[in-house]
Amino acid sequence: MNPKIILALETSCDETGVAILRGSELLTSEVASQVSEHKRYGGVVPEVASRNHLIYAPRLLERARRAAKIDISQVDAFAATSGPGLASSLMIGASIAKGLAVGFGKPYLAINHLEGHLLSPFFVASASNRCSDHGQDAPAIIRPNVSLVVSGGHTMSIFVRNIGEYQIIGHTVDDAAGEAFDKVAKLLGLGYPGGPEIEKQACSGNPTRFDLPRSMPDAENFSFSGLKTAVRYLLPKIGVIPSRADGEGPHARSLDPQVLQCDQSACERSLASARDDVVNDLCASFQQAIIDVLVGKTIAAAKKHDVDLVTVSGGVSCNKELRRQLQEACKRDRFEFKSAEPWLCTDNAAMIAFAASLRLQHGFQSSVTEEIDPNLALAH
């Protein structure tokens, strides 16, 4: 039997993604980022996002088809993210995938965005499983694991037993970790998305300089809004004037001149270096507070659920320090550690195609009447 060709679309938020997977071989993964368009607002504007999906999705479909060197009629199944996400964005990708499935008389698979993230650490492993001699693919083996999904919209630890068998262990009760990165970056007048900007500043900062809270240390759930508020109240005390809401303008990342009293040029020099030191140290301390919480709770969950594997995925898992510290903690406690490759961490359609291929192998399919659901639950 020939490996199945799956075409998937991802339009849950502000990235438009189209990918084509043949068995475990990724033929193409196209992503059109809208970051530059949402940057000026410091966050995603749903109306702008859905209008852009409408423009980008057909173009990416054509580009993907050419890159994969296939005809759409060769596709065996069509998939799309059906939630959670922004309703006006989800409906674009899901409508296109459903239309193609109906038009070509092929199955449709509605994929939970979080399932796409949580299975993505297995993607590379499955690619090396190819049995090309027989033109077939060995199904990817999803071992039981504790999965940390950490993104701009979600922070969750999940006990994964198998495909479709998920138990939520903990979730954020307020902000997601990525949201906290984005909001603190905005306060500091750094760019959007905030995670990569904070990581850059944190590289040369001292993570122990500022004592920031680690909320709910003994709970399975997460909370990051207290940490964000603690940073907000710390700023005037350390002489940093919080940025205006748009993250631009003269107040962004300025140090209160009254904290430094000196002659003009020396003052300018020390102002600049003090500003950079204080911001770098603050970013490093903030990033470490988030990492401590994520690593501590994930290891505790892995011990409690008696697994031998820990996985991490989602946009925040691009963070090198998080990956390094989680890997070290896993090694210390003898858990195997798998992370999604960095290009698979932020939103993309390859992870949706991969989840769809696993679902298809396990006999799942969706009805084309299945609605998108902005609050789609991963498990009940």
3-class state of residue 217 by DSSP: coil
Q: Is 347 left (phi over 0), alpha (psi -120 to 50) or beta?
A: beta
3-class state of residue 223 by DSSP: coil
Look up residue 74 and give its DSSP letter.
G
Q: How far is the CB of 215 from Zn ion (least distance, A)?
A: 23
Contact 42, 192 (CB under 8 A): yes
Which residues lie near ligand KG4 (CB under 6 A)?
A: 13, 151-153, 178, 181-182, 193-196, 199, 314-316, 318-319, 346-347
CB nearer ligand KG4, residue 203 or residue 262: 203
CB nearer ligand KG4, residue 348 or residue 357: 348
**Among 29, 151, 201, 317, interactor with Zn ion by CB under 5 A:** 151
Q: How far is the CB of 38 from ligand KG4 (least distance, A)?
A: 11
Q: How far is the CB of 308 from Zn ion (least distance, A)?
A: 26
Retrieve residue 203's tokens: 């590289």
Q: How far is the CB of 156 from Zn ion (least distance, A)?
A: 11
Strands 336-339 and 309-313: parallel
Residue 24 binding partner per list ligand KG4, Zn ion, none, with a CB distance cut-off of 5 to 8 Å that depends on partner kind: none
Q: How far is the CB of 12 from Zn ion (least distance, A)?
A: 7
- The angle formed by the CA atoms of residues 152, 154 and 158, to the nearest 5 degrees, is 140
Q: How far apart are CA 175 and CA 183, in angstroms?
A: 10
CB nearer ligand KG4, residue 30 or residue 347: 347
Residue 194 binding partner per list Zn ion, ligand KG4, none, with a CB distance cut-off of 5 to 8 Å that depends on partner kind: ligand KG4
CB nearer ligand KG4, residue 57 or residue 184: 184
Residue 193 binding partner per list Zn ion, ligand KG4, none, with a CB distance cut-off of 5 to 8 Å that depends on partner kind: ligand KG4
Q: How far apart are CA 289 and CA 180, in angstroms?
A: 11
Residue 316 binding partner per list Zn ion, ligand KG4, none, with a CB distance cut-off of 5 to 8 Å that depends on partner kind: ligand KG4
Widest pairwise Cα distance in the chain: 79
Q: How far apart are CA 229 and CA 244, in angstroms?
A: 16
What backbone torsions phi and psi does residue 74 show, to the nearest 5 degrees? -80, -10
Question: Is 243 an interacting residue with respect to Zn ion (CB under 5 A)?
Answer: no
Which spans of this chain sit near Zn ion (rule: CB under 5 A)?
Answer: 151, 347
